[in-house]
Amino acid sequence: MLVLSLLFSTLLSEVCPQTVPEQAQFVDQRGFNALKTVPPPSVSNLTSIFLPPGLSEDDALAKPFHVYDEAFYDIIGTNPTLTVIGSTGGDPLFHEAVVWYPPTDEVFFVQNAGAAAAGTGLNKSNVILKISLDQAAAVSSQRNASGQVEVIAVNATPTVINSNGATNYRGEIIFTGEGQGPDIAPSLFVMNSVEPYNTTVLLNNYFGRQFNSLNDVAINPRNGDVYFTDTLYGYLQDFRPSPALPNMVYRLNPSTGAVTVVADGFELPNGITFSPNGSYAYVTDTGAQYALYGYNFTAPASIYRYVVEPDGTWSNRKIFSYVSPGIPDGIHCDTNGNVYSGVGDGVHVWNPSGTLLGKIFVGMTSANFNFAGKGRMVICAETQLYYVTLAAEGAVVASEMPSS
C-alpha cells in the first residue's frame, strides 16, 4: 500500500509541476481510465464512493482538495483549508438552505426535514440554525474544531415549516417550505434576517392548489424574479400526501404576483441557481433517489442547464453533468461561472463546459453548501458541518445587486 501510494505521488508530481497546496492532491484521471477489474453494479454504483487506485480513504480525507484539472488550482488558491466546525451523533442538523447574510456575517442553514434520525416531518417542523463566520474563521487552521463554533437555533415567528431551500431576498431570506401533512401547504416564506426573525408567507398555492413540496429557490439577478423547484420529497419521506401537480420549476414575479411555469420534464427537480449574470439557469434532478423508496440507478442524478431568455423564460435545456457518486443536490456558481454542487462525497466543481475541475472531498453526502462571499464556504454534510477557505468567490446574490 505504501509502495503504491509512493508510486502514485511520484507519478503525480511528474504530470503536475505546479506546487500542490498542503491540503490538496492532484488526481491523474488517466490513472483510472483502464482499471484492472471494474466491479459490477452490486458493488460499484451510485451509492459507492470511488477512489482512484492507490488512494485510500484516509489519504483522500487527509488532503481533501482533489485537483482533477489544473484550472482547480486557481479556484482553491495556494492554501485552501477544510475544517469540521460542528458534528452531531446522528441528528442531521446540517442539511440545506445555506445562506450568507453579509450585514451580520452569519450563515444560516436548516435541519433535514423528514429524515428518521431528525424526528421531523409529520411530527414536528425542522429548525433553522445559524453560525457566526468570525468563530469559524478563528478555527480554520484546525482540521476538526467541532464544539468550538456555536450553532444557534433561529426562532422564526411564525414558524417556517419544514424548510429545505433558501436564498437572500431583498435584504431578508426567502425559504422554501415543504409543507406538513395534507393541511399545511408548501410555501415560500420570507424571514427577517435579524431578530425577531418575523416571517411572512409570500406564496402558498398555484391557483388554489397545493404545491407538492417546494425544494429550492434562486433569484435571477437580471429580473429579480423568484424561481423555485417543486418536487416529491415530502411525499417520498411520508409527510405529504400523494402529489397532485407535475414536478416543475416555477417563477414568481413579486411585483405583479404572477406565477408561471418555466420548466417541466424532470424526475425530481431539486437544486436551482443562476450563472453570475443570470443568463443561464442550472437545475439538479435527483430522480435516482426516491428517499424511503430507495434508489433507481437508471434515473437522473444530473444537472441540466437552460438559457434564460431576456423575458425571463427558459429555453435550450441541455445536460450539463451526470454526477458520480450520489445525486447533485444544492448548486451554486462562483463569479467566473464555474458550477459547484453537493454530491455523494462532498462538493464537486465543473467549468461552464461541464468538465470536472476538482472536488472538496469529505467522504460523505453533502446535500448543500454555499459561499460566504470571497474565499469562504460552508458545507452541510448532515451530521458534519464544514468551513472551507479557498480563492474563489460566490456569484453575487441578487439582494446585493442594484434593484431594478
Ligand X SMILES: *[C@@H]1O[C@H](CO)[C@@H](O)[C@H](O)[C@H]1NC(C)=O
Sites of contact with ligand X (CB under 6 A) = 41-43, 45, 47-48, 84, 87, 121-123, 144, 146-147, 172, 190-192, 198-200, 238-239, 267, 275, 277, 279, 287, 296, 298-299, 337, 384
Nearer to ligand X, 26 or 63 (CB): 63
Residue 348 · residue 374 · CB < 8 Å? no
Residue 267 · residue 243 · CB < 8 Å? no
Nearer to ligand X, 129 or 395 (CB): 395
Closest contact distance (angstroms) between CB of 40 and ligand X is: 8
Give residue 204's identity as a one-letter amino acid code.
N
Closest to 261 (Cα-Cα) out of 331, 334, 312: 312
Nearer to ligand X, 173 or 390 (CB): 173
Cα 196 from Cα 106, distance rounded (Å): 15
Nearer to ligand X, 185 or 288 (CB): 288
Closest contact distance (angstroms) between CB of 42 and ligand X is: 4
Nearer to ligand X, 14 or 58 (CB): 58
Instruction: Look at strands 280-285 and 302-308 and give their pairing.
Output: antiparallel
Nearer to ligand X, 85 or 133 (CB): 85
Which run of H or E residues covers position 305?
strand 302-308
Strands (E), 207-279: 214-219, 226-230, 249-252, 259-263, 269-274
Closest contact distance (angstroms) between CB of 22 and ligand X is: 18
Residue with cell 483549508: 81
Q: Which three cell numbers stand for residue 117?
A: 434520525
Closest to 363 (Cα-Cα) out of 60, 56, 41: 60
Closest contact distance (angstroms) between CB of 6 and ligand X is: 26
**For the residues of 152-208, what is the DSSP string, one character each?**
EEE--BS--TTEEEEEEETTEEEEEE--BTTTB--EEEEE-SSTT-BEEEEE--BTT
Nearer to ligand X, 38 or 43 (CB): 43
Backbone angles phi, psi at 137, to 5 degrees: -60, -35
Nearer to ligand X, 55 or 191 (CB): 191
Give residue 49's identity as a one-letter amino acid code.
I
Which residues contact residue 106 at a Cβ distance below 8 angstroms, ignoring those fewer than 6 apart? 100, 130, 131, 132, 133
Closest contact distance (angstroms) between CB of 17 and ligand X is: 30
Residue whose C-beta lies closest to ligand X = 48
Which residues contact residue 36 at a Cβ distance below 8 angstroms, ignoring those fewer than 6 apart? 53
Which residues contact residue 58 at a Cβ distance below 8 angstroms, ignoring those fewer than 6 apart? none
Cα 146 from Cα 182, distance rounded (Å): 38
Closest contact distance (angstroms) between CB of 143 and ligand X is: 8
Nearer to ligand X, 14 or 195 (CB): 195
Distance of CA 2 to the CA centre of its chain: 35
Closest contact distance (angstroms) between CB of 362 and ligand X is: 7
Cα 315 from Cα 104, distance rounded (Å): 38
Closest contact distance (angstroms) between CB of 7 and ligand X is: 26
Closest contact distance (angstroms) between CB of 333 and ligand X is: 9
Inter-CA distances, 35 with 14, 31, 392, Å: 21, 8, 33
Closest contact distance (angstroms) between CB of 277 and ligand X is: 4
Closest contact distance (angstroms) between CB of 14 and ligand X is: 32
